[in-house]
């Protein structure tokens, strides 16, 4: 069986891994000359977001993919304009992103035994679909699915990031929400170690130039004076996709609408859709059925997004205070209560009333 994969990102590499496991050796076309991201940063798997999955690392292992996290995530400090809440516990993991050997993509890449990656090849799904039995489209954006009429825009953001030097706790995530400088998005700080961290602003409804002003506003408002040693900018779009397979084309990762429209998490969905596409190719199983929970969970996240968009800075203060209340904190963080699912169901009703 001849399989081509477009993109050596998390979803494409995970798909190759699953195919190899079943004796199918794909070819990956990668437009860059390296594996990973151009700019280093630290991402995360937040336990509260992935429920009912309890532990992302154990879950990846169950899919056959071994990933060593950069650190465990044991504390989240949330800031709204006038409030601060600290949550502590077993909250998830930090993952390194970038070109380094220990970045999550390179860890998955290292587990491939036979798959060849053709670097510096900008692939086109139309040409490949004539040449191969299956083409897994894993190129990390919605361009191809949009062209094919399966993509519907959800959230369009610009991302401004920096590598900063200072004093950090390697197990702590800091999050700021404030309409004045990130609109409906947020800013977060994730540490590489005690001395180095990534500081990232994800801003909605803004232009590429506009985000520079808001970034300055953020630094000023929050009195951030870390030493900035590197900066980067990206565009980040999420969308709803249907169907996830057309003819011999499989859509995985971001291409398949894998990034959640509320917080922008997509690593777990990238790995899951990659593995499930592999299984569907090998066993002829229905891909839609294999990924239906993931699609549902992003629909719930979209209800969170719609509700969040309606909040103002006063509401942010109330929200941050509320998640710090003992009963709520316990329910959300110390139990296996599926916040995404039940919160999503409730918000769906509220959002309908607010149309």
Ligand X SMILES: Cc1cc2nc3c(=O)[nH]c(=O)nc-3n(C[C@H](O)[C@H](O)[C@H](O)COP(=O)(O)OP(=O)(O)OC[C@H]3O[C@@H](n4cnc5c(N)ncnc54)[C@H](O)[C@@H]3O)c2cc1C
Residue found under tokens 């400088």: 181
**Binding footprint of ligand X on the chain (CB under 6 A):** 6-12, 29-32, 41, 43-44, 122-123, 138-140, 159, 161, 200, 234, 236, 253-254, 258-259, 264-268, 270
Closest CA to 255 of 2, 20, 7: 7
Q: What is d(CA 291, CA 195) in angstroms, rounded to the nearest whole number?
A: 40
**Least CB distance to ligand X at residue 15 (A):** 9
Structure tokens that stand for 31 in this block: 């437009």
Residue 228, classed as helix, strand or coil, is strand
Choice between 24 and 259, CB closer to ligand X: 259
**Least CB distance to ligand X at residue 317 (A):** 25
Choice between 74 and 321, CB closer to ligand X: 74
**Least CB distance to ligand X at residue 321 (A):** 25
Q: What is d(CA 4, CA 140) in angstroms, rounded to the nearest whole number?
A: 15
Choice between 197 and 259, CB closer to ligand X: 259
8 Å CB contact between 257 and 295: yes
Residue nearest to ligand X (CB): 9
Choice between 18 and 351, CB closer to ligand X: 18
8 Å CB contact between 197 and 189: yes
Choice between 123 and 174, CB closer to ligand X: 123
8 Å CB contact between 160 and 4: no
Choice between 10 and 182, CB closer to ligand X: 10
Choice between 207 and 312, CB closer to ligand X: 207
**Least CB distance to ligand X at residue 161 (A):** 6
8 Å CB contact between 264 and 157: yes
**Least CB distance to ligand X at residue 65 (A):** 13
**Least CB distance to ligand X at residue 355 (A):** 29
**Least CB distance to ligand X at residue 104 (A):** 9
Structure tokens that stand for 276 in this block: 């499930």
**Least CB distance to ligand X at residue 207 (A):** 18
Backbone angle region of 80, left / alpha / beta, with phi > 0 → left and psi within -120 to 50 → alpha: beta
Choice between 252 and 351, CB closer to ligand X: 252
8 Å CB contact between 253 and 10: yes
Choice between 278 and 351, CB closer to ligand X: 278
**Least CB distance to ligand X at residue 209 (A):** 19
| Cβ count within 10 A of residue 116 | 11
Q: What is d(CA 277, CA 225) in angstroms, rounded to the nearest whole number?
A: 45
Structure tokens that stand for 293 in this block: 């929970």
Q: What is d(CA 326, CA 332) in angstroms, rounded to the nearest whole number?
A: 10
Q: What is d(CA 36, CA 260) in angstroms, rounded to the nearest whole number?
A: 21
8 Å CB contact between 204 and 264: no
Choice between 269 and 351, CB closer to ligand X: 269
Exposed/middle/buried for residue 150 (C-beta within 10 Å: 0-12, 13-18, 19+):
buried
**Least CB distance to ligand X at residue 354 (A):** 28
Sign of the C-alpha dihedral computed for residues 223, 224, 226 and 228 taken in this order: negative
């Amino acid at each position: 069986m001849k399989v081509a994969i477009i993109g050596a990102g998390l979803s494409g590499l995970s798909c190759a891994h699953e195919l190899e496991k079943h004796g199918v050796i794909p070819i990956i076309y990668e437009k860059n000359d390296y594996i990973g991201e151009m700019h280093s940063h630290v991402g995360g798997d937040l336990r509260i977001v992935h429920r009912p999955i309890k532990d992302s690392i154990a879950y990846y292992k169950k899919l056959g993919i071994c990933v060593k996290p950069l650190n465990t995530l044991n504390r989240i400090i949330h800031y709204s304009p006038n409030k601060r809440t600290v949550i502590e516990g077993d909250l998830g993991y930090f993952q390194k992103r970038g070109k380094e050997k220990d970045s999550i993509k390179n860890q998955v890449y290292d587990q491939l035994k036979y798959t060849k990656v053709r670097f510096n090849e900008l692939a086109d799904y139309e040409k490949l679909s004539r040449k191969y039995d299956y083409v897994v489209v894993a190129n990390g954006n919605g361009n191809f699915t949009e062209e094919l009429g399966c993509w519907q825009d959800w959230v369009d953001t610009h991302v401004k990031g920096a590598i900063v030097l200072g004093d950090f706790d390697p197990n702590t995530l800091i999050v700021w929400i404030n309409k004045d400088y990130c609109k409906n998005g947020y800013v977060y700080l994730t540490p590489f170690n005690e001395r180095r961290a990534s500081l990232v602003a994800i801003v909605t409804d803004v232009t590429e130039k506009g985000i520079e002003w808001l970034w300055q506003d953020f630094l000023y408002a929050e009195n951030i004076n870390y030493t900035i040693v590197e900066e980067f900018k990206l565009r980040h779009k999420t969308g709803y996709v249907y169907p996830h397979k057309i003819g011999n084309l499989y859509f995985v990762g971001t291409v398949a609408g894998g990034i959640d429209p509320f917080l922008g998490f997509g690593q777990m969905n990238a790995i899951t859709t990659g593995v499930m596409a592999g299984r569907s190719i090998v066993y002829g199983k229905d891909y839609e059925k294999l990924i239906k929970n993931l699609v549902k969970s992003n629909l719930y996240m979209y209800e969170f997004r719609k509700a969040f968009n309606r909040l103002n800075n006063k509401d942010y203060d109330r929200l941050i205070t509320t998640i710090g209340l003992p009963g709520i904190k316990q329910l959300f963080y110390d139990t296996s209560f599926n916040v995404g699912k039940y919160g999503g169901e409730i918000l769906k009703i509220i959002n309908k009333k607010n149309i």
